[in-house]
Structure 1
Amino acid sequence: MSRPLDIALIQTRTPATADAALAHVEPLIREAAAGGARFILTPEGTNLLEQRRDRRGLAITDEDQDVAVTGLRRLAAELGVWLLIGSAIVRSGHPADDRAANRSLLIDAHGTITGRYDKLHVFDVDLPNGETYRESASIRPGDAAGLTQTPWGLLGMTVCYDLRFPHLFRQLARAGACMISVPAAFTVPTGQAHWETLLRARAIETGCFVLAPAQGGPHEDGRRTWGRSTVVGPWGEVIAHVDHDAPCVLHAQLDMAAVEKARASIPQLLHDRDFAPPR
């Protein structure tokens, strides 16, 4: 019988600059590694959370110049752990589009980036409480799904709002993913109403482990995020969760055999059928 995979989700309250963000998250990652985690995941916006456009423009750099990204690569190599930077807000690299990328980065135990995924779905909404979000104004959406090999199986990569698009998760699972990451910075109203329900639904639909590290609490740019980082098993059971929005480390153990067990019990990934669209 294979050894369970020790993971840790890092819940953060990321500051508005990459230097401060690295100083904030590094001790939490060290704590996770000291506790035995071999795979550590951080939330969306790990390198900075800044929605004020004038300050945001000054804070964003290229991926290979970002202080938090380069610092976390060195840290993964030092600790000998795999690390998912849930996302970094960096320049997209597209000369015709000055919007940033919201980019998830998988780093191996040598500090090498082995997987990249740019968030596909951007969040534009006017909430009943008066909050307005226009992620499309500053984030260039990606155009490809993210599926990357790890020592424990294939990892499907998503970011935050992607959680509301089940077809993405299904395609990742049908392509072989056994784990799907959902780093997030959910708003409080949407998090309170939908966060756990959606995470459990995506796990049940795919037979995957769903790993959801989150931002939590009041941030420097005025937003407030829900927290409640969560690990869901492939049968839809909550394996571990945080019941608050403060920065912390959440440990969990994953029995990877549970994926095949869930999928054998309900082989839904084999039963898709083509059908005519509604009229």
Structure 2
Amino acid sequence: MCASTVVKIAVINFQPVLEDSRPNKVATLRKMEHFIIEAVKSNADIVVFPELALTSYSGFPPDTAYELSEPIPGDSTSVIQKIASQYNIYVAFGMIERSGSKLYNSVPFIGPRGVLGVYRKVHPARFAEKWATPGDSYPLIQTPWGPIGIGICYDNYCFPEVPRIYAIKGARIHLNPTAIPQFKDADDTLDFYFTMLGARSVENNMFIASANFVGKQGDYDYFGHSMVIGPKPGKMNYHIYAGPLGIDEGVAIATIDLSSLKDLCLGVRTIFEDRRPETYTPLVKG
């Protein structure tokens, strides 16, 4: 059976529920359900929440991170799976995953029948994720629209290898659950955000669905601007297909046609065929 080429992707500007600065996962899951239902009203197929949406991104000490962690599958993924089954929708959201004695900054991708795959952040931010074990793989998520890739925040902005690996594997949709706060200069923040994701989308011929936090969490003030970005057909530039949302909570939905993607990078149709991996060994040397 051929994959469908048209998909509606919802990205969520989101703020988890905190009580006295402590995450309330039960209340946050109820809030996530509200936004999923809002996306369903617009016939969305996939809903993307931010990095660590379940708990917030607050620079937890290891003990707190462990208390907030869960296995996958687990209680929270079961809640989301029931919602996904009820509405026949697919959901990606960030959480602290516990596997044995290790914790991961993870994003499960959940469909009506359960967890389809889990991405573990390969490049945890050292200043805020001291509890996180780095992931070591790039699993493709098989969906009715073809394979989907996932990178988390820092993975996508500063390591172009991550989206490129997924593009080589055949992904034409890439998810960016992120927790990117406001820098000192607001214009610099937006320039960085658009420039990095725009470049990743154009150079890899893929649509990128980016979902960010809003509001204040601990020392971080988040600027939202969730969006779906991708190559602009017939142009050597990117196009924003949904959003960017502002600094308040909300939903942006893009209808994208994967058949519109052409193998174009600066006008060159053979970008992947022209790669010369044998010359890239310096990239993988320590």
Q: TM-score range by the shorter chain?
A: 0.7 to 0.9
- Correspondences of 1:16-31 after superposition (within 5 Å): 16-31=23-38
The residue type paired with residue 61 of structure 1 is E
- Residue 275 in structure 1 maps to residue 279 in structure 2: yes
CA, structure 1 residues 230+170, in 2 after alignment: closer, same or farther (shift >3 Å)? same
In structure 2, do the counterparts of structure 1 residues 101 and 3 end up closer, same or farther at CA, with 3 Å as the change threshold?
closer
CA contact (8 A) 2:215 2:247 kept: yes
Q: Which residue is equivalent to 1:197?
A: 195
The aligned counterpart of 2:262 is 260
Of residues 191, 214, 217, the one that matches 1:216 is 214
| Aligned position for 1:76 | 84
One-letter amino acid of the counterpart of residue 69, structure 2: I
Which residue is equivalent to 2:108? 105
Partner residue of 1:206? 204
Query: Given the two structures, how large is their TM-score scaled by the length of structure 2?
Result: 0.83
Structure 1 residue 55: deviation in Å?
4.0
Corresponding residue to 1:149 among 139, 142, 155 = 142
Alignment size in residue pairs: 260
SS across alignment from 2:262: helix
* Partner Cα separation in structure 2 for residue 265 and residue 154 of structure 1: 23
- Output one character per residue of 1:182-205: Cα deviation in whole Å (capped at 9) or x when no partner: 110012117434111111000011
Q: Secondary structure at the match of 2:38?
A: helix
2:116 match: secondary structure: strand
TM-score (norm 1): 0.85
Instruction: Give yes or no for contact 1:156–1:180 (8 Å, CA) kept in 2.
Output: yes
Report if aligned partners of 1:216, 1:226 keep a CA contact under 8 Å in 2: yes
Q: Which amino acid aligns with 2:205?
A: G
Matched, 1:65 2:77: no
Give, in whole Å, the separation in 2 of the partners of 1:231 and 1:108. Answer: 20
**Structure 1 residues 168-187: aligned runs within 5 Å:** 168-187=162-181
Quote the Cα distance in structure 1 between the aligned partners of 2:100 and 2:261: 38
Q: How far apart, CA to CA, are the structure 2 residues paired with 1:57 and 1:5?
A: 36
Structure-2 change in CA distance of 1:174 and 1:46 (3 Å):
same
Which residue number in structure 2 is paired with residue 127 of structure 1?
A: none
The corresponding residue for 2:235 is none
Specify the SS of the correspondent of 2:251.
Answer: strand
Identity of aligned residues (%): 25
Post-superposition Cα deviations, 1:118-163, rounded to whole Å, max 9, x if no partner, equal 0101113xxxxxxxx331x111110101211110111011111101
Unaligned runs of 5+ in 1: 125-132
1:34 aligns with 2:31: no
**How far apart are residue 63 of structure 1 and its match?**
3.0
Measure, in 1, the Cα distance between the counterparts of 2:136 and 2:5.
36
CA distance in 2, matches of 1:270, 1:241: 33
RMSD between superposed Cα atoms in Å: 2.2
Given the superposition, is the C-alpha separation of residues 59 and 197 from structure 1 closer, same or farther in structure 2, using an over 3 Å criterion? same
